């Protein structure tokens, strides 16, 4: 018997691949023809036992993508997912040290707080120092105002400042802004801080410094020291007697900033590069162990608490994943750490689309079958580009074409059909994100309804053992129940929900549909929270100092 030639082996492989494709429901003749059209491409997709994708038309690829992205959330799918997500929320009210974290912030503004407050916002690239005036909820349209704010860039040189040198730099900037406002007879200047880095909060205004990441060296030699004391010590060098009275994260600040204006605000939503939600829940909804070490006086005064959900950590084993989501997760440095974040946030939406484009180029002839070299690198397709492509609704997609080719030059000039296909993929991915975000808000809204009803206390205040639920009566319970039966406001902030075309409107439609099928009364409305970090820090300070 003569040995098989390479051509015969190739033919044998192609026939086997065609048979497999036939068994998956495709035409045997279609699959065989695909080999003769592009034998090299077919061989490349059947190497070393790797996953194979049948060659298909671009239209067929997009039809499958729509089924994969939107099929699981159509009709009752999103409702079923939201029920599973709510169960995960419930479980982590009593377990898991990294999410569903009760903060020390338990006071919501009454809307009667008035005065000027010093607020700081420390982020990855800027320090903002502001004087904020609160005028009261009755001052419709002028309830709060940033009287003066100065923004300082945190340059690479500033990031390299080690230990106290960074806080000395901060103190000098604070002095620069408020020196004219210092009253000589004022003993202490209270200050609110929005801190965008990890901190182990031990009181409303106290937190132990943890690693900051993002290139900062400020924690060098200072890990575990109190953030408030560090800032106070640095400010004393400039004869500023300050006291850090309130620390908030970005989602809590978003909630507080709008709660001052809209009394029915009970959620703070962030959706930009990352995502998170803060929610106001009864203290009694959590096991005592979730509160860590905090004084009994806190429990005596708190009936409700602002909770940092760390939303991105949820969704494992219940999310409707596509093969592109699975590829993203498999190559991630921390797979399964933030499953929901991968499907929601701006950092990942572009990468999901890039992975789908790579497959469409290889198997469906997108972009003439040639992947732009710039898209070979992971995370090279920015979500902002997707938003600009989606924003172009013109027939010729001229702007979308220009945006894409400017950032990703192609060997073969893209056709209108190519850009329309990429726009279609972007639309599927953003719509799924909006739907899953809506389900997250809805699940937490239902959870809030249920925990209020389940934990209405009928006994005197008590502080039970470490692993039992906290049962605390409060004169505000009836008020809370009335609030959730009316319109609930979800304050939002972040580049995706603010600027991505139709994202907010799509999310609101999904929320409305879910709420309409709920047994609980009320409505849920998304409302923008501009400058929420600074305003939220000021409101938190006002609540702390006027309580």
Tell me the CATH number at 344.
Answer: 3.40.367.20
Q: Looking at the domain assignment, is residue 23 inside a domain?
A: no
Dihedral angle at the C-alpha atoms of 74, 77, 78, 82, nearest 10 degrees? 180
CATH of residue 218's domain is: 3.30.420.40
Do 159 and 302 share a domain, yes or no? no
Q: pLDDT value at position 53?
A: 55
Reported as type and span, the H/E element at residue 243 is strand 242-248
Question: What's the angle, vertex CA 360, arms to CA 356 and CA 365, rounded to 5?
Answer: 165
Do 299 and 445 share a domain, yes or no? yes
pLDDT higher than threshold 90 for residue 18: no
Do 134 and 225 share a domain, yes or no? yes
Contact 17, 42 (CB under 8 A): yes
Q: pLDDT value at position 196?
A: 86
Do 89 and 113 share a domain, yes or no? no
Q: Looking at the domain assignment, is residue 84 inside a domain?
A: yes
Do 169 and 218 share a domain, yes or no? yes
Q: pLDDT value at position 212?
A: 87
Contact 351, 328 (CB under 8 A): yes
Q: Looking at the domain assignment, is residue 34 inside a domain?
A: no
Of 172-181, 264-273, 482-491, the one with minimum mean pLDDT is: 482-491
pLDDT higher than threshold 90 for residue 327: yes
Q: Looking at the domain assignment, is residue 359 inside a domain?
A: yes
Q: Looking at the domain assignment, is residue 295 inside a domain?
A: yes
Interval 266-294 mean pLDDT: 94
Contact 442, 82 (CB under 8 A): yes
Contact 494, 421 (CB under 8 A): no
In what side-by-side order are the strands of the sheet with 242-248?
144-153, 126-134, 115-122, 189-195, 242-248
Question: What's the angle, vertex CA 213, arms to CA 208 and CA 219, rounded to 5?
Answer: 45
Classify 218 as helix, strand or coil.
coil
Chain segment 44-92, per-residue pLDDT in tens: 444 454 445 558 999 999 999 999 999 999 989 999 999 999 999 999 9
Contact 302, 236 (CB under 8 A): no
Q: pLDDT value at position 499?
A: 96
Do 65 and 206 share a domain, yes or no? no
Full-model pTM = 0.84
Do 210 and 335 share a domain, yes or no? no
Chain segment 362-390, per-residue pLDDT in tens: 999 999 999 999 999 999 999 999 999 99
Do 63 and 183 share a domain, yes or no? no
Q: pLDDT value at position 425?
A: 98
Q: Looking at the domain assignment, is residue 406 inside a domain?
A: yes
Q: Looking at the domain assignment, is residue 45 inside a domain?
A: no
Do 59 and 163 share a domain, yes or no? no
pLDDT higher than threshold 80 for residue 28: no
Pick 3 or 240 by higher pLDDT.
240
Which DSSP category does 122 fall into?
A: E
CA nearest neighbour of 496 among 436, 545, 456, 540: 436
Q: Looking at the domain assignment, is residue 6 inside a domain?
A: no
Do 234 and 316 share a domain, yes or no? no
Range of the domain at 109: 104-248
In what side-by-side order are the strands of the sheet with 487-493?
101-102, 304-308, 275-282, 265-271, 487-493, 523-528
Do 180 and 315 share a domain, yes or no? no
Q: pLDDT value at position 185?
A: 59
CA nearest neighbour of 524 among 277, 249, 251: 277
At which residue do the structure tokens 């290889």 appear?
362
CA nearest neighbour of 444 among 168, 207, 251: 251
Interval 268-295 mean pLDDT: 94
The number of domains in the chain is 2
Using DSSP bridges, classify how beta strands 115-122 and 487-493 pair: parallel, antiparallel or unpaired: unpaired
Q: pLDDT value at position 446?
A: 97
Contact 256, 109 (CB under 8 A): yes
Q: pLDDT value at position 186?
A: 64
As separate numbers, helices (DSSP H) first and strands (DSSP E) second, the chain gives: 20, 13
What distances in angstroms separate CA 302 from CA 3, 69, 160, 206, 281, one per listed residue? Answer: 83, 43, 40, 17, 11
Mean pLDDT (the chain) is 86
Do 189 and 228 share a domain, yes or no? yes
Q: pLDDT value at position 471?
A: 40
Does residue 334 come out as left (phi exceeding 0), alpha (psi in the -120 to 50 range) or beta? Answer: beta
């Amino acid at each position: 018997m003569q040995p098989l030639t390479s051509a015969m082996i190739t033919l044998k492989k192609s026939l086997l691949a065609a048979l497999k494709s036939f068994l998956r429901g495709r035409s045997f003749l279609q699959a065989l023809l695909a080999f003769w059209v592009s034998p090299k491409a077919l061989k490349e997709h059947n190497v070393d036992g790797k996953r194979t994708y049948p060659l298909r038309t671009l239209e067929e690829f997009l039809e499958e993508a729509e089924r994969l992205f939107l099929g699981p959330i159509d009709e009752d799918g999103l409702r079923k997912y939201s029920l599973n997500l709510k169960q995960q929320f419930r479980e982590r009210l009593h377990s898991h040290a990294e999410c569903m974290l009760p903060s020390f912030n338990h006071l919501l503004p009454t809307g009667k707080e008035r005065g000027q407050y010093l607020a700081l916002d420390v982020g990855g690239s800027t320090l903002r120092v502001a004087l904020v005036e609160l005028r009261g909820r009755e001052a419709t349209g002028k309830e709060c105002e940033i009287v003066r704010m100065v923004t300082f860039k945190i340059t690479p040189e500033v990031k390299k400042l080690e230990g106290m040198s960074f806080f000395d730099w901060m103190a000098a900037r604070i002095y620069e802004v408020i020196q004219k406002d210092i009253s000589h007879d004022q003993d202490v200047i209270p200050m609110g801080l929005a801190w965008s880095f990890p901190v182990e909060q031990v009181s409303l205004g106290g937190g132990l410094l943890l690693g900051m990441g993002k290139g900062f060296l400020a924690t060098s030699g200072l890990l575990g020291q109190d953030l408030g004391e560090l800032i106070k010590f640095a400010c004393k060098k400039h004869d500023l007697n300050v006291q850090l009275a309130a620390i908030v994260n970005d989602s809590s600040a978003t909630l507080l900033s709008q709660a001052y204006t809209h009394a029915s605000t009970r959620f703070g939503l962030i959706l930009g590069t990352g995502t998170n939600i803060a929610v106001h829940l009864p203290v009694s909804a959590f096991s005592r162990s979730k509160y860590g070490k905090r004084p009994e006086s806190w429990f005596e005064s708190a009936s409700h608490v602002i909770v940092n959900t760390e939303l991105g950590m949820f969704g494992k084993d219940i999310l409707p994943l596509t093969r592109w989501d699975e590829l993203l997760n498999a190559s991630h440095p921390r797979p399964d750490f933030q499953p929901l974040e991968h499907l929601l946030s701006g950092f990942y939406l572009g990468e999901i689309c890039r992975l789908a484009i790579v497959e469409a180029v290889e198997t469906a002839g997108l972009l003439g079958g040639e992947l732009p070299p710039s898209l070979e690198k992971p995370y090279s397709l920015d979500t902002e580009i997707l938003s600009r492509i989606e924003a172009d609704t013109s027939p010729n997609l001229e702007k979308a074409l220009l945006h894409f080719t400017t950032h990703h030059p192609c060997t073969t000039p893209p056709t209108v059909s190519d850009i329309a296909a990429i726009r279609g993929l972007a639309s599927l991915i953003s719509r799924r994100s909006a739907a899953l975000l809506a389900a997250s808000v809805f699940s937490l809204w239902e959870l809030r309804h249920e925990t209020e009803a389940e934990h209405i206390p009928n006994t005197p205040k008590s502080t039970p053992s470490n692993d039992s639920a906290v049962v605390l009566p409060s004169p505000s319970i009836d008020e809370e129940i009335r609030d959730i039966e009316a319109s609930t406001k979800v304050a939002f902030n972040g580049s995706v929900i603010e600027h991505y075309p139709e994202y907010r409107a799509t999310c609101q439609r999904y929320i409305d549909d879910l709420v309409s099928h709920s047994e609980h009364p009320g409505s849920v409305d998304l409302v923008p929270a501009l400058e929420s970090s600074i305003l939220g820090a000021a409101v938190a300070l006002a609540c702390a100092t006027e309580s």
